[in-house]
């Protein structure tokens, strides 16, 4: 298969701009393919289509075409059960691009981000990510690409990992592109000049930006990058912002307009210009007619001082700028919290009455679960707010990662805080397929560790992307711990990471004997974090056997199950309360509080249990 006459490294030495190709995914979408399918798989399912698109871009004037492999790494292909086809898909992609180029264009191996957050937001380590990048890059190199292009990276650290992986695999030239949002910062919060400095230290040939913004906004971003860059720069803007018309995404930026800004980018000193989402061969054809053959404009590198001024408006509704009473009382008194059963429907009266009863018993706060066991219940934020307003009692909002992506998680947390809900128990959540709707999708953009990080960032006045939220939240960050986890090593390691990310207090799973919590405290003694021990009063022998044998994470020792089994059925609930009372008295001196879980909404048993404290 024919290659260009000179290497890409030699081509970089010329003072002449280059034209890249345009979008692949949105172009396939415009031809009737769905974003729900794997575009990478089309390399082997419909190679003629992929080759034809490459040929269209070459005919339009593209001097660099990218392989159809933007999401062809193990993690992204796993979403389509294609993880065993990483090699086949990447090799086929290179072959198709090379055949289509006919030596008229360089073939760039396209590498995108992993598709999942990395540590500490998720359990995926940087080393794991590097191995995934190395696998894909290895096949692109084996296929014979002329260069590598890393694009649409939102996390500079992940981009660094990808580039490091490439340099361990080959010495091919690299184009490294970072995505920016409308305000000129990257999704990680960095300014354009800072991004250039960071990427230059990674020793790549071309630095640039792609996706997210259209040509006009990208021009402003590149203007800030040019004075800082000693490397050549690239720009791959989108065709403006899309709109939904008859359930289809449509981009309206015309090829002519796009090309006008391509010329302006050249005038600012940009070396390589292509297109991202929404662009087509028509856009690239106009760009080629406008800029092909033009000389690059040389700019002197100068220092840039970025000044970011932000006007923060006072909120119309003032939020109490203090930590919760629950938080302020930790360590000052033995705290009692109790869990409420949420309604399956609209009737909230039982929950409100239950909260009133618990308050009258002297309970300090109520725990509001969030779809435990993936069961449909009323929104915990709504219930927590209603309790706060109607009962004047502090809720502890359980908050799971199952049903919300990163945007939704942060959006709802901000909303909860605006409603005065300041105690949050960060939970990964049970997968949807075990609950009421087994066909429902589990999101899990992050797990509980990542959620703790998000909460901590909000407490410093910024979101996960380091964008300001105007003022700091004052969440009390609670996390779950299981003193009787099957894999105790992993449990303690995860707790350590939660605490490192900012956890304030641990709520444990139910325990039924003193030694369980004592052993647990010994294992976490170096963490120096308050603990509320979970206590679940047993209702009888069947209840005990069900919890022990059928509910993950709960262990009830033989002697407790034998004890309650030996009691007449009509007295077994009282025995369960007695067991809980004994445990509460034993643990009072070693933990900061107790988290009671009255079964079947039997809130009166809470009064019986805590009566031993008076």
Rounded to 5°, the CA angle 501-504-506 comes to 105
Where does the pLDDT of residue 418 fall: very low under 50, low under 70, confident under 90, or very high at 90 and above?
A: very high
Q: Please tell me the number of Cα atoms within 13 Å of 504 on its side-chain side.
A: 20
List domains and CATH numbers for the chain.
8-291 (3.20.20.330), 325-613 (3.20.20.220)
Whether 307 has a pLDDT exceeding 60, the answer reads no
Q: Is 551 left (phi over 0), alpha (psi -120 to 50) or beta?
A: beta
Name beta bridge partners: 109.
Answer: 148
- pLDDT at residue 303, as a whole number: 43
Contacts of 361 (CB under 8 A, 6+ apart): 603, 606, 607, 610
**pLDDT tens digits, one per residue of 75-88:** 999 999 999 999 99
For the chain, give the percent of residues with pLDDT over 90.
72
pLDDT in tens, 385-409: 999 999 999 999 999 999 999 999 9
Give the pLDDT score at 407: 92
State the average pLDDT over residues 506-510: 96
pLDDT for the residue 310: 37
> Would you state the structure tokens that stand for residue 101, as one six-digit string?
């180029």
CA angle 490, 493, 498 (to 5 degrees): 125
- Residue 611: is its pLDDT beyond 70? yes
Most confident residue range from 114-118, 121-125, 223-227, 476-480: 476-480
pTM of the model: 0.65
Which of 7-16, 292-301, 537-546, 584-593 comes out lowest in average pLDDT?
292-301
Kind and range of the H or E element at 107? strand 106-111
Please say if the pLDDT value at position 318 is more than 60: no
pLDDT band of residue 245 (cuts 50, 70, 90) is low
**Which tens digits make up the pLDDT trace of 119-148?**
776 778 899 999 999 999 999 999 999 999
**186 vs 336 pLDDT, higher one:** 336
- Tell me the longest C-alpha to C-alpha distance in the chain: 93
Residue 168 has pLDDT above 80, yes or no: yes
pLDDT at 298 over 80: no
Mean pLDDT of 302-314: 39
What is the rounded CA–CA span in Å between residue 556 and residue 539?
Answer: 13
pLDDT at 276 over 50: yes
CB-neighbour burial class of residue 184 (10 A; exposed 0-12, middle 13-18, buried 19+): middle
Say yes or no to pLDDT of 183 above 70. no
Inter-residue contact 178 to 153 (CB < 8 Å) = yes
pLDDT of residue 188: 58
State residue 181's pLDDT score.
72
pLDDT of residue 187: 53
Res 316: pLDDT: 42
Average pLDDT over every residue of 186-198: 77
Mean pLDDT over the full length of the chain: 90
State residue 243's pLDDT score.
Answer: 74
**What pLDDT was estimated at residue 374?**
79
What angle in degrees, to the nearest 10, is found between the helix axes of 215-225 and 192-200?
60
**Which residues lie closer than 8 Å to 275 by C-beta, 6 or more apart?**
20, 21, 22, 23, 236, 237, 238, 239, 258, 283, 284, 287
Question: What pLDDT does residue 438 have?
Answer: 76
**pLDDT tens digits, 30-46:** 888 888 899 999 999 99
Q: What is the pLDDT of residue 300?
A: 58
How far is it, in rounded angstroms, from Cα 545 to Cα 484? 16
Helix (H), strand (E), coil (C) string for 32-44:
CCCCCCCCCCHHH
What is the average per-residue pLDDT within 310-335?
71
* 106-111 β-sheet, strand order: 18-19, 272-273, 232-236, 206-210, 174-178, 147-153, 106-111, 64-66
Task: Please name which of 415, 595, 423 lies closest in space to residue 510, comparing C-alpha atoms.
Answer: 595
- DSSP E strands, 211-269: 232-236, 243-245, 248-250
In this predicted structure, what is the pLDDT of residue 189?
56
pLDDT value of position 302? 47
Three-class secondary structure assignment of 396-450: EEEEECCCCCHHHHHHHHHHHHHCCCCEEEEECCCCHHHCCCCCCCCCCCCCHHH
**pLDDT, tens digit (0-9, with 9 covering 90-100), for 581-603:** 999 999 999 999 999 999 888 99
How far apart CA 112 and CA 71 sit, in angstroms, is 6
Distance of CA 77 to the CA centre of its chain: 18
Mean pLDDT, residues 350-363 taken together: 95
Model confidence at 198: pLDDT above 80: yes
pLDDT surpassing 90 at residue 470: no
The pLDDT of residue 124 is: 84
Quick one: what percent of the chain has pLDDT higher than 70? Answer: 94
């Amino acid at each position: 298969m024919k290659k260009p006459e000179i290497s890409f490294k030699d081509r970089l030495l010329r003072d002449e701009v280059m034209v890249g190709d345009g979008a692949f995914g949105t172009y396939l979408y415009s031809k009737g393919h769905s974003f729900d399918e794997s575009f990478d798989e089309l390399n082997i399912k419909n190679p003629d289509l992929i080759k034809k698109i490459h040929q269209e871009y070459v005919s339009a004037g593209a001097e660099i075409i990218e392989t159809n492999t933007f999401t062809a790494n193990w993690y992204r292909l796993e979403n389509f059960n294609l993880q065993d086809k990483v090699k086949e898909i990447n090799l086929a992609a290179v072959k198709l691009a090379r055949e289509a180029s006919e030596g008229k264009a360089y073939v760039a191996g396209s590498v995108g981000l992993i598709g999942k957050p990395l540590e500490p937001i998720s359990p995926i380590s940087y080393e794991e990510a590097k191995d995934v990048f190395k696998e894909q890059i290895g096949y692109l190199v084996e296929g014979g690409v002329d260069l590598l292009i890393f694009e649409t990276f939102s996390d500079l650290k992940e981009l660094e990992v990808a580039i490091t992986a490439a340099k361990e695999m080959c010495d091919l030239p690299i184009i490294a592109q970072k995505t920016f949002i409308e305000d000129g910062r990257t999704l990680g919060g960095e300014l354009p000049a800072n991004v250039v400095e960071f990427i230059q230290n990674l020793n790549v040939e071309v630095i640039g930006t792609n996706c997210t913004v259209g040509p006009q906004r990208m021009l402003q971003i590149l203007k800030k990058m040019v004075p800082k860059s000693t490397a050549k720069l690239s720009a791959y803007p989108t065709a403006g912002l899309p709109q939904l018309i008859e359930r289809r995404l449509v981009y309206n930026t015309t090829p002519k307009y796009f090309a006008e800004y391509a010329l302006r980018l050249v005038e600012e000193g940009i070396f390589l210009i292509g297109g991202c989402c929404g662009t087509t061969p028509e856009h690239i054809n106009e760009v080629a007619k406008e800029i092909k053959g033009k000389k690059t404009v040389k700019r002197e590198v100068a220092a840039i001082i970025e000044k970011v001024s932000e006007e923060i408006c006072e909120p119309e509704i003032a939020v109490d700028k203090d930590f919760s009473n629950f938080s302020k009382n930790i360590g000052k008194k033995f705290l009692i919290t109790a869990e409420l059963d949420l309604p399956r429907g609209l009737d909230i009266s039982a929950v409100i009455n239950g909260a009133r009863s618990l308050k009258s018993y002297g309970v300090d706060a109520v725990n509001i679960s969030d779809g435990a066991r993936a069961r449909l219940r009323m929104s915990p934020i709504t219930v927590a707010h209603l309790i706060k307003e109607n009962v004047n009692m502090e809720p502890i909002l359980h908050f799971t990662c199952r049903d919300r992506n990163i945007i939704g998680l942060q959006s709802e947390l901000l909303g909860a805080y605006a409603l005065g809900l300041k105690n949050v128990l960060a939970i990964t959540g049970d997968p949807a397929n075990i609950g009421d709707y087994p066909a429902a999708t589990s999101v899990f953009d992050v797990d509980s560790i990542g959620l703790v990080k998000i909460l901590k960032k909000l407490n410093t006045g910024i979101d996960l992307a380091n964008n300001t939220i105007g003022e700091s939240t004052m969440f009390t960050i609670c996390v779950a711990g299981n003193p009787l986890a099957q894999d105790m090593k992993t449990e303690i390691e995860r707790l350590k990471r939660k605490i490192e990310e900012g956890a304030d207090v641990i709520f444990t799973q139910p325990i039924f004997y003193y030694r369980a919590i004592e052993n647990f405290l010994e294992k976490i003694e170096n963490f120096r974090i308050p603990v509320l021990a979970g206590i679940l009063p047993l209702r009888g022998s069947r209840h005990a056997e069900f919890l022990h044998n059928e509910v993950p994470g709960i262990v009830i020792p033989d002697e407790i199950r034998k004890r309650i089994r030996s009691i007449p059925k009509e007295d077994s609930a009282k025995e369960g309360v007695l067991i809980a009372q004994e445990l509460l008295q034993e643990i009072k001196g070693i933990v900061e509080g107790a988290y009671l879980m009255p079964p079947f909404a039997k809130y009166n048993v809470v009064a019986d249990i805590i009566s031993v404290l008076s």
